[in-house]
């Protein structure tokens, strides 16, 4: 597309507890996105490892500088001449814990940004479903935005979507795309996923690219899927409800400008 537009792909996966199998699956889906003309592809949270035990996560996590997963993403970006938001992967962090990190690669394979998940998923849901992400992951401290083509992209991971102040920050610094890479649980996804995504798009008048995990995983967790692309009016313009796959959309700066002109709510803010 022209400098005022971008063809994007959101990838939905059912990642397993074996890293090599996940990288093979991701490679095939990235190839599919590139063959359809994507200039940017977005992978889901934990695309390289899902459902592993805490001890296996610790064992497989690597330092950022030696990461097999980051090297894979760089090579994929070069091969397909396509920018990649690399979902998230676990890297060694401080305090004896891990980082849940979302890297971004340009089409020449350069890592231009990396975002560490700020809001960690510590919940006790109905039916005995319980998670304590903070037991193994250290929280990130800073938002992270990056320029890709004609667009300014704000990064976020899964549970972040429930905290609108992060996305308002991204709007304030000029973002027009909000990326949400996720492994939303089936229970919370059914109730809230699309509502939250559409709200973030509408209130910030930005495109939302949401790539998700889907289905059952080795640890018994079930994820909701429903990867989607939402325009700044809150309209879902591409959707993958179930299964693995790739969804595509053409984004334009003109659409953002039009919506912000006809309904200038960002300019009308009082707080």
- Catalytic residue numbers read 45, 117, 158
CA distance 185 to 182: 9
Output the CA angle 174-180-183, nearest 5 degrees. 165
CA 184 to each of CA 70, 127, 180, 248: distance values in angstroms, whole numbers, following the listed order:
23, 16, 11, 21
For the chain, helix, strand, coil in percent to 5 are: 35, 35, 35
CB 53 within 8 A of CB 219: yes
Inter-CA distances, 110 with 73, 78, 81, 85, Å = 10, 9, 11, 12
């Amino acid at each position: 597309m022209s400098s005022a537009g971008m063809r994007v792909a959101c990838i939905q996966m059912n990642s397993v507890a074996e890293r090599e199998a996940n990288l093979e699956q991701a490679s095939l889906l990235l190839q599919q996105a590139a063959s359809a003309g994507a200039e940017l592809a977005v992978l889901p949270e934990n695309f390289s490892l899902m459902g592993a035990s805490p001890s296996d996560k610790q064992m497989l996590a690597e330092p950022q500088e030696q990461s097999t997963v980051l090297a894979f993403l760089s090579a994929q970006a070069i091969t397909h001449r396509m920018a990649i938001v690399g979902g998230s992967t676990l890297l060694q962090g401080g305090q004896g814990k891990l980082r849940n990190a979302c890297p971004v690669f340009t089409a020449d394979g350069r890592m231009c940004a990396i975002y560490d998940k700020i809001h960690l998923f510590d919940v006790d849901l109905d039916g005995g479903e319980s998670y304590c992400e903070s037991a193994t992951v250290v929280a990130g401290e800073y938002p992270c935005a990056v320029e890709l083509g004609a667009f300014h992209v704000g990064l976020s991971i899964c549970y972040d979507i429930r905290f609108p102040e992060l996305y308002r920050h991204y709007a304030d610094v000029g973002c027009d795309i909000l990326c949400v890479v996720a492994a939303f649980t089936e229970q919370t996804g059914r109730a809230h996923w699309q509502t939250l995504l559409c709200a973030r798009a509408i209130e910030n008048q930005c495109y939302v690219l949401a790539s998700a995990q889907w289905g059952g995983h080795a640890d018994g967790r079930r994820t909701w899927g429903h990867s989607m692309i939402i325009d700044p009016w809150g309209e879902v313009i591409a959707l993958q409800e179930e299964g693995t796959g790739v969804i595509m959309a053409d984004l334009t700066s003109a659409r953002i400008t039009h919506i912000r002109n006809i309904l200038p709510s960002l300019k009308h803010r009082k707080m």
